Copies of this chain bind each other. A is one copy, B any other.
Amino acid sequence: MSPSIQESIHLMGRQARTAAYRLAQLSSEQKNAVLRAMASALREATPEILAANALDREAAASRGLAPAMLDRLRLDAVRIEAMAAGVEQVATLPDPVGQCIESWQRPNGMCIEQVRVPIGTIGIIYESRPNVTADAAVLCFKTGNATILRGGSEAIHSNRAIATALQAGGAAVGLPEHAIQLIPFTDRESVAVLARMDQWLDLIIPRGGKGLIETVVSHARMPVIKHYDGICHLYADAHADIPMAVALTVDSKTQKCGVCNALETLLVHGDIAADFLPAVATALRAKGVELRGCEATRAILTGVTAATEADWRTEYLDLILSIRIVDSLEQAIAHINDYGSHHTDTIVTRDETTAERFLREVDSACVFHNVSTRFADGGEFGFGAEIGISTDKLHARGPMGLRELTSYQYRVRGSGQMKGSGVIS
């Protein structure tokens, strides 16, 4: 453990805590003015951000990064404008902080109010995409939280340029000092230091692959909100409308296949398999999808590879779909609860009773009836913004918007109530 890295990250933690107390006192209007100023600053800093991004891309290219990774890293004027517009969009969203969740009066006369407050200090650890610097910092700021950002080494110049623009733009109109801090170190050690720093950090959100999340979870002493895999299922029930089941399967699998709410496994009730599978296979193959199936599937469809046990547990993020024929709703639910990742699962059926059992018994963040899995998304849910889709069950589950970046506080107003002997007269 290098003392200088630890000391400087701990200093950032202390500074974040101080900033958080100031942030909690800002009005919605003050915060929105800061957001608009940040958006302008991002636009004005376009040349600096592009220059910094060029450095990152040169380094990445010389290290032989894959084209997909290079594209994630790449910023251009259009992407910077989209980032700035995103910041402005957050300014227009309702502010959950200060909202009364519930209030009631007790028989002794005290009035209890449960009010949304910021969480406090949030650490965000992310990988290659530099726009996360702005997206995450701005959602945390809107909810009155101080942020410590730790981005990946491959985007460090871009991340610095973006953070600098946000800080400078915001500072001019009242952004508290140290409200948004970027860790200058990109080694693994800095992740461990941040994850253990529970005296200064209330929450840590890792955004990235399983390896990153695992590193954070194994070190973390504070709560972690995880965004693990989406192994999403569509179950075509015996009473499914077959054209709808075909259309929803194709949409869920192919509308965008590299995302966590894309379909990975299709479950089909045996009663409709002979009608449904040929139709859905034709439609999927027209979109270039490779099919892998159980033995019963392969008895109906030709050209289907045998699905292994590993297939049922795989998030392909690609144009591949595993297919299994089941005998019953119970078997479909058991498969999903056993092999799935508790992210998003959908049933297609005309039978309301079956649908309701599926919604109640599948243990996933999002359970859908006659809807594409692709709707598991903060934007599609109407949240206006999304910090991610939680696969945890505590605090936040499923799509996380601004509200999920808040905590609450009980405010109690009385007139001298005592536990021992009633109200003072």
Using a CB–CB distance below 8 Å, which chain A residues touch chain B?
Answer: 21, 24-25, 104, 106, 110, 112, 117, 119-120, 198, 202-203, 217-218, 221, 223-224, 241, 243-244, 247-248, 251, 255-256, 337, 355, 359-361, 363-372, 374-376, 380-382, 392-395, 397-399, 407-421, 424
Contact = CB atoms under 8 A, between A and B. Distances in A.
A419 B119 CA distance: 33
Given A25-B361, A217-B221, A418 B248 contact: yes
B255 A413 contact: no
A378 to B, nearest CB: 11
Given A106-B380, A369-B413, A380-B106, A120 B393 contact: yes
5 contacts: A24-B363, A112-B382, A248-B416, A364-B409, A375-B419
A393 B144 CA distance: 14
A218 B393 CA distance: 21
Contacts of A424: 243-244, 247-248
B375 A21 contact: no
Given A369-B412, A394-B395, 19 more contacts: A24-B361, A110-B371, A202-B393, A223-B394, A244-B416, A248-B418, A251-B418, A255-B419, A255-B420, A359-B413, A367-B411, A367-B412, A368-B412, A371-B413, A372-B418, A374-B419, A375-B412, A397-B407, A399-B410
A388 to B, nearest CB: 15
A206 to B, nearest CB: 13
- Pick the 9 closest A-B CB pairs, nearest first: A371-B414, A374-B419, A251-B418, A395-B395, A393-B407, A223-B394, A255-B420, A394-B395, A244-B416
Nearest to A246: B424
Contacts of A117: 363
Nearest to A359: B411
Best-surrounded residue of A110, A120, A418 (most CB of chain B within 10 A): A418
A224 B394 CA distance: 10
A377 to B, nearest CB: 9
A21 B334 CA distance: 10
A299 B375 CA distance: 68
Nearest to A243: B424
A374 B414 CA distance: 13
Nearest to A355: B413
A383 to B, nearest CB: 10
Contact of A410 (B218, B381, B416): B381
Nearest to A247: B424
Contact of A414 (B202, B360, B368, B413): B368
Best-surrounded residue of A119, A247, A361 (most CB of chain B within 10 A): A247
Nearest to A421: B251
Contacts of A420: 251, 255, 372, 374
Contact of A397 (B247, B360, B408): B408
Contacts of A112: 381-382
B243 A412 contact: no
B414 A369 contact: yes
Contact of A415 (B370, B412, B419): B370
A416 B370 contact: yes
A366 B374 CA distance: 40
Best-surrounded residue of A119, A203, A374, A412 (most CB of chain B within 10 A): A412
Nearest to A368: B412
A394 B203 contact: yes
A412 B21 contact: no
A180 to B, nearest CB: 20
